Amino acid sequence: MPDKAMDMYTLNVEGIQVQVQVVQGKEDFVPSYVLSILNVSDTTKIILEKIREKFVSEVQMGQVELAGLERFEELKAKFAGEVEKLLNQYLPKIDPQTKTVLINYVIQQNLGLGYIEVLLKDDSLEEIVVNGTKDPVWVYHKKHGWLKSNVFLESEDQIRHYSTMIGKDVGKAITILSPLLDAHLVTGDRVNATLHPISNFGNTITIRKFSRKPWTITDLIKYKTINYEGAALVWLAMQQEMSILIAGGTGSGKTSFLNVLCNFLPPNQRILSIEDTRELQLPPTLHWVPMETRMANPEGKGEVSMLDLVVNSLRMRPDRILVGEIRRKREAEVLFEAMHTGHSVYATVHANNARETIVRLTNPPIEIPKLMLPALGLIVVQHRDRRTGKRRTLQVAEVTEDGEPNVLLQLNARTDQLEKINESKTLVNNLMLYTGMTQDDIRKDIEEKIGILQALVRKDVTDLHQIGLILARYYTQGTTFR
């Protein structure tokens, strides 16, 4: 039985054509992610390896590690000139376009993260994992889940060198005395690194990729993450300034869903976002001020914590506050105080269902009094099926007056449909109390929103800016499409 080809596509990495194949080997339990350089022949690669060796020996590579982010492009241009001289010596007859491609190839392999740079260019990947030199680099593919790649790192020193480069870019160090690193690349991709012997099998790097194209409500409906009725209900709650908490496990799509909620924000309100590493991307039509926390320096000074930013944000006249994740008691207390004083708050928390979310909020380390919980308008729970890789909205729940969850919509795992299972006890009453809407008004409003969402999907509007313009017209002019 031959190997089974599951997928194939091409990447362009600074002029280098890279073919990606996803193949299920007949003896393998896990499919393989196979990279092939298309426009660099094997003979040329041998010559490039000689150039690379000479390049490394002649150029002071230590300058790269000592260079700050501002000087990196300057150094890159300098090294490109050195490589060009070597190419003229070894391959004098190549045309200018091919020369540019080969220069980029050598620079990528020596100044960047090597083949990891290629993996970072694949928008189909969510996670890139280096487990040491004995294992291939693993990747998590949006369509195919975990895959073994044909990329190996040469040595533990090389893995450590990559970790050091990443750390220096953000002013952090990874050493034997400090063998753990949490950082992010200039692209926003989150990076965790560990050194041997803390990680027993070798040095590790884990990169969670930052989505280059932010998810929109159109994407979530198209991929059946949420249905029209669920999206319209959440939109109504957003429009009426109800606070929403997005719960879910690791990798379930909490931050992506939080980003999608921002599609529904009106353009005439001031929005503040607070994150450890900025991941949210809002439409440019919005009045948005993003803020990030900062770690302390090696002397233990200069830290700006999540709590610092949450407290400070209340002095900046926000209409809406977005928080990457609630982790600690004091942060949660300030946020719930903000809800009770008229601010709309949107945040994420780790919990697997609505009931567990309440338990998590009311017990250590967060420990919010149960009587404060009704300030929440909705809890939206995201779920990822680890067998299939599918992400779905598991539950949409309101919080009753006694701080208990009342699940309104719930995923039927057998039919893969989000179904209504309970009538509202507080959401509808609060809408009627604070907006003057009748139950009939609420029903018509949801139907209108479903119609707009259907039009977005039908016209395949997935651009964040375009959706921002459409919803800005909806809020200010009562129209959507022109």
- Average pLDDT (124-133) is 94
Q: What is the 3-state secondary structure (H, E, C) of the chain?
A: CCCEEEEEEEEEECCEEEEEEEEECCCCCCCEEEEEECCCCHHHHHHHHHHHHHHHHHCCCHHHHHCCHHHHHHHHHHHHHHHHHHHHHHCCCCCHHHHHHHHHHHHHHHHCCCHHHHHHCCCCEEEEEECCCCCCCEEEECCCEEEEECCCCCCHHHHHHHHHHHHHHCCCCCCCCCCEEEEECCCCCEEEEECCCCCCCCCEEEEECCCCCCCCHHHHHHCCCCCHHHHHHHHHHHHCCCEEEEEECCCCCHHHHHHHHHHHCCCCCEEEEEECCCCCCCCCCCEEEEEECECCCCCCCCCECHHHHHHHHCCCCCCEEEECCCCCHHHHHHHHHHHHCCCEEEEEEECCCHHHHHHHHHCCCCCCCHHHHHHEEEEEEEEECCCCCCEEEEEEEEECCCCCEEEEEEEECCCCEEEECCCCCCHHHHHHHHHCCCHHHHHHHHHHHHHHHHHHHHCCCCCHHHHHHHHHHHHHHCCCCC
What angle is formed at CA 432 by the lines to CA 428 and CA 436, rounded to 5 degrees? 155
- At residue 68, the pLDDT reads 46
How many angstroms separate the CA atoms of 9 and 19, rounded? 6
pLDDT category of residue 313 using cuts at 50, 70 and 90? very high
> Which tens digits make up the pLDDT trace of 190-213?
899 999 999 999 999 999 988 778
- At residue 75, the pLDDT reads 64
- At residue 46, the pLDDT reads 74
List, in order, residues 6 or more apart from 421 with CB less than 8 Å away: 407, 408, 409, 410
- At residue 168, the pLDDT reads 77
Lowest mean pLDDT among 67-76, 250-259, 328-337, 451-460: 67-76
pLDDT category of residue 60 using cuts at 50, 70 and 90? very low
Lowest mean pLDDT among 94-98, 349-353, 422-426: 94-98
HSE-up (13 A, CA, CB side) for residue 247: 22
Is-above-0.85 flag for pTM?
Answer: no
- At residue 213, the pLDDT reads 83
Task: Kindly give the pairing relationship between strand 417-420 and strand 405-412.
Answer: antiparallel
- At residue 191, the pLDDT reads 92
Lowest mean pLDDT among 88-92, 187-191, 284-288: 88-92
- At residue 58, the pLDDT reads 54
pLDDT at 62 over 80: no
Q: What spatial distance separates the first Cα and last Cα of the chain, rounded to whole Å?
A: 55
pLDDT category of residue 64 using cuts at 50, 70 and 90? very low
pLDDT category of residue 67 using cuts at 50, 70 and 90? very low
- At residue 73, the pLDDT reads 65
Percent of the chain with pLDDT over 70: 92
Mean pLDDT of the chain: 88
pLDDT at 227 over 80: yes
- At residue 55, the pLDDT reads 60
pLDDT category of residue 355 using cuts at 50, 70 and 90? very high
Percent of the chain with pLDDT over 90: 61
- At residue 39, the pLDDT reads 67
Cβ(166)–Cβ(193) below 8 Å: yes
Q: Which residue has the higher pLDDT, 259 or 184?
A: 259
**Identity of the residue numbered 345:** V
- At residue 69, the pLDDT reads 45
- At residue 63, the pLDDT reads 47
- At residue 196, the pLDDT reads 92
- At residue 57, the pLDDT reads 60
> Which tens digits make up the pLDDT trace of 13-33?
877 788 999 999 888 889 999
- At residue 66, the pLDDT reads 40
How many angstroms separate the CA atoms of 104 and 117, rounded? 12
pLDDT at 169 over 80: no
How many angstroms separate the CA atoms of 210 and 212, rounded? 6
